[in-house]
A and B are shown apart, each in its own frame.
Chain A
Amino acid sequence: MATVIFYLTAIVAILAALAMVLSPNAVHSALFLILNFCSVAVLYLLLRAPFLAAVQVTVYAGAIMVLFLFVIMLLGAEKADLGSEPVGWQKPVAILLGIVLLVEGGFVAYRGIRLPDMTAAQANDIGSPITISSVLFSKYLLPFEIISILLLIAIVGTVVLTRRDRAHLREEA
């Protein structure tokens, strides 16, 4: 059962990703990306990480992608890549290197790592919100606090970057 769900979800995730990359319309790309994120969230559930699955859907597929869509709409940038490719060999080389990277990744996935698969009983409890939060607020307390400061900086930075010059505004007005 789990295997079937895995393969189905995996295929959906891959197709969604490909569609995201290939779609000429940025809005479509964003929607495909949301689909990809949701299918990955399903995989998280299979990996016994329900908390992160929830975070994935709410934060990633929800907040972040909404931000993306908002910006696309705001700028009117949904159109496909404009003009011609300035560096002719960029695309073939990129695809070639991508294939090499994929081969290497596959090699790593099946030959490079030597990890025993845990039994279900052992791995049962690692993803519950209680476990995660107890680790987060004890072992990773300091990084957690730093992340909060990072987010604050990001907020301030965003405000500064998008704020229009006051003098500039007055001129326009």
Chain B
Amino acid sequence: MENFIWLVPALPLLGVIINTLLGAAALRGSHHHAPGDSHDTHAADHGVHHDNGVRRVGWLASAMVGLAFVLTLVMLVQLLGQEAKVGEENGRFFDITYWQWMAAGDLRIPFGFLIDQLSLTMMLLVTGVGFLIHVYSIGYMSHDPRPTRFFVYLNLFIVAMLMLVMGNNFVMLFLGWEGVGLCSFLLIGFWFEQRDPPWAATKAFVVNRIGDFGLLMAMFAIWGLTKNAEGGALHSLVFREVLAPENVGSLQFVQTAFLGTQYTAAGAIALMLLLGVTGKSAQIPLFVWLPDAMAGPTPVSALIHAATMVTAGVYLVIRTAPIFELSPSVMNTMALVGVATAFIAATIALGQYDIKKVLAYSTVSQLGYMVAAVGMGAYGAGLFHLLTHGIFKALLFLGAGAVIHGYGDEQDMRKMGGLRHKMPRTFATYMVGTLALAGIAPLAGFWSKDEIIGHAWYGAEGGATHRGIAIFLILSSMLTAFYMARQVAMVFFGEQRDKSIHAHESSPLMIWPLIILAVGSVLGGLINLPGLHPLTSWLEPLLGEEAAPFHVGLAAVVMVLALLSGWAGFTYYRRAERRIKATHRDPLHRWGGDFYAIFEEKWGFDSLYNAIVVQPYKYLSNVLGKAFDVVIIDGVVNGSANLVGLTGRGLRTFQSGYVRSYALMFLVGVVAVLGYFVLR
């Protein structure tokens, strides 16, 4: 089977190629209209044909991802069939190098895959959730004018994401890292004829670039500074070479100075990697792009900006854990960044009226949980939450998409209400997702979130505790329950506030993925159920983590707090329903006042960045555009053109058409050359 593992990314790539080449033809359909047809039947016919085309294109794309998922499952079975450990070493992995990708001097970059417990887990999430979202998109994009492009991008994203998690070296990871960034850009800006999406896409791309810079710097440093056991330069970027204990340890003894402070190389690299993580996984200070990214189609938000791409940062930390382990201070910083993000994003989610924005900030907040977890060294817990969150947040986004789709593309929650009667199945699945996110037992979110909080409160066995972090995580968890209750109350309960919109349930093609994901959200806790700990023991040969004990008391307290908070939120918004109007601020504003305004204003992050980065940059661009570009650049360009023109005009006189004049020139040359030899 390991000989066929390349098929996993190759299949979606095939989908990209086929749909790129044949998608337009599939959409055009094969039917030709008779010239006498009336205009109306034309339009109707066209709609049917368009639908068929979308189905053809969409099912092909989905099938490719589905097949990749099946292959990954087979791979899982095979890995499970191998010895977990060979001596002290991890036994369940394949490191396959296909060819040398690039070579320059000492630099050797192989093109190869590393399939181990971690990458396989990620692959399952990417292809599994990816498949469901592909299927859902067939329904969601049925009326879009450019479905082929959408599915091509979506497939391409899957390819890039698989490259990211499967690559056996940093450059492959970076290839995927940039690839998903590109697809994210393309898909956020998918509706480029509207006002916001292009800006949001650009913002996402630019902000991500800062993080990518960190990752690049880290790669350079790793390549340049890692030494092998003999003390010579290792000059490798292959994970299994760089991260081998005998090599990675050398980073601790290399000192680098930066801005007047001495760092160990490990610390500097870890800090750079952390910058990359904050960019891709939307952590403070770089989280601002993710909420804006909701301008893209909702399946994109579900797949890229909730379930998979944004978790790449967490994957990166777990993959390069040996480097982070060498630098406890960076680990602490990461944990603090994570918890701060979790808390702040949760508060901002309170102040949003857009159904997708709430979920976006919720995603940022949950990513904060994961980053905090891996920052505390709880890699298993972080990955566990990554998986469950991938499932239930995909469910929530797809549910929100179903609401938007069935509610006339309206996204403002203040105009909704009472939709549980109109969309019963969407409502039911959405409730499952909400409860899972809020951390209510026995749904998925409860187990994974509790594992993180438990790890923070009690610490790893023999390790330090992080009580402060734990408290803020619990607070965030209460906020999560509150804003989700608020959302559910505003969207599904009460009266429909905008009577002009005809609400309807979505097509089965969109509902079935919701149901499957809902089942996943219910059963997701089984992935790492306390007592059994399948995930932790599956990862144990790789990460060397022991299963953490389950703390019933803490879990109960956290859950009761979440329940109380959720109940409070629900009752409050049910009571205040009459005061929810599209033109009014949130009822909570009466109580929260300026604090609530802070949440509404997203703690001023966007305004701050606008003031200190965007405006000065625009000003500088303006100045350069008017002064430098026009005067100097244009001057040089036009000047050189004029110079050539003038020279040509001058030299033209020499070409008189008289052969004898040319002969005279010739003679001048002869005399000059001969004169040179005579006078020399």
**Which residues of A are in contact with B by a Cβ distance under 8 Å?**
86-87, 90, 93-94, 97, 100-101, 104, 107-108, 112
Near A by CB (< 8 A), chain B positions 558-588 give none
Interface presence of B624 (CB below 8 A) = no
Binding site for A on B (CB under 8 A): 656, 658, 660-661, 664, 667-668, 670-671, 674-675, 677-678
Rank and list the top 6 A-B pairs by shortest CB-CB distance, nearest first.
A104-B674, A107-B678, A104-B678, A97-B667, A100-B671, A101-B671
Contact A101 B678 (CB under 8 A): no
CB of A97, distance to nearest CB on chain B (Å): 5
Of A87, A94, A108, the residue contacting B667 (CB under 8 A) is: A94
In contact, A87 and B656 (Cβ under 8 angstroms): yes
Q: Is the CB of A101 within 8 A of B674?
A: yes
A residues less than 8 Å from B670 (CB atoms): 101
Known A-B contacts: A86-B658, A87-B658. Give 13 more (CB < 8 A): A87-B656, A90-B664, A93-B664, A94-B667, A101-B667, A104-B671, A104-B674, A104-B675, A104-B678, A107-B678, A108-B674, A108-B678, A112-B677
Number of A-B contacts (CB under 8 A): 31
User: Could you show 19 A-B contacts with beta carbons less than 8 Å apart?
Assistant: A87-B656, A87-B658, A87-B661, A90-B658, A90-B660, A90-B661, A94-B664, A94-B667, A97-B664, A97-B667, A97-B668, A97-B671, A100-B671, A101-B674, A104-B674, A104-B675, A104-B678, A107-B678, A112-B677
B interface secondary structure, majority: helix
Minimal beta-carbon separation of A12 from chain B (angstroms): 27
**Across the interface, which residues of B come within 8 angstroms of A97, CB to CB?**
664, 667-668, 671
CA distance in complex: A97, B674 (Å): 12
Q: Can you name the residue of chain B whose Cβ is closest to the Cβ of A101?
A: B671
Closest CB in chain A relative to B142 CB, distance in Å: 69
Task: Pick from A93, A101, A104 the residue with the most CB of B within 10 Å.
Answer: A104
A94 (CB) vs chain B CBs: closest residue = B664
* Chain A residues with CB below 8 A from B664, complex form: 90, 93-94, 97
A107 to B667, CA, bound (A): 18
Q: In the complex, A29 Cα to B323 Cα: how many Å?
A: 96
C-alpha spacing A87/B657, complex, angstroms: 11
Q: How far is the CB of A90 from chain B (nearest CB, A)?
A: 6
List A contacts of B678 (CB < 8 A): 104, 107-108, 112
By a CB distance below 8 angstroms, the chain B residues around A107 are 678
Roughly how many angstroms separate A108 CA and B670 CA in the complex, as a whole number?
Answer: 14
List of A residues within 8 angstroms of B668 by Cβ: 97
- Nearest residue, chain A, Cβ from B670: A101
B656 CB to nearest A CB, Å:
7
Distance of A68 from chain B, by nearest CB (Å): 19
Tell me the minimal C-beta distance from B165 to chain A in angstroms. 70
B656 CB contacts on chain A under 8 angstroms = 87
Closest partner residue, chain A, to B674 (CB atom): A104
Residues of B within 8 A of A104 (CB): 671, 674-675, 678
Closest to A105 in B: B674
Q: How far is the CB of A67 from chain B (nearest CB, A)?
A: 21
The complex places the Cα of A108 from the Cα of B661 at a distance, in Å, of 26
Whole-angstrom distance between the alpha carbons of A90 and B677 in the complex? 26
CA distance A100 to B668 in the complex (A): 10
The answer for the CA separation of A101 and B667 in the assembled complex, in Å, is 9
Query: Inside 8 A of A86's CB, which chain B residues have their CB?
Result: 658
A96 nearest CB neighbor, chain B only: B671
Contacts of A93 in B (CB 8 A): 664
Cα–Cα, bound, A70→B219 (Å)? 85
A165 to B670 alpha-carbon distance, docked (Å): 41
The distance from the CB of B666 to the nearest CB of chain A, in whole angstroms, is 10
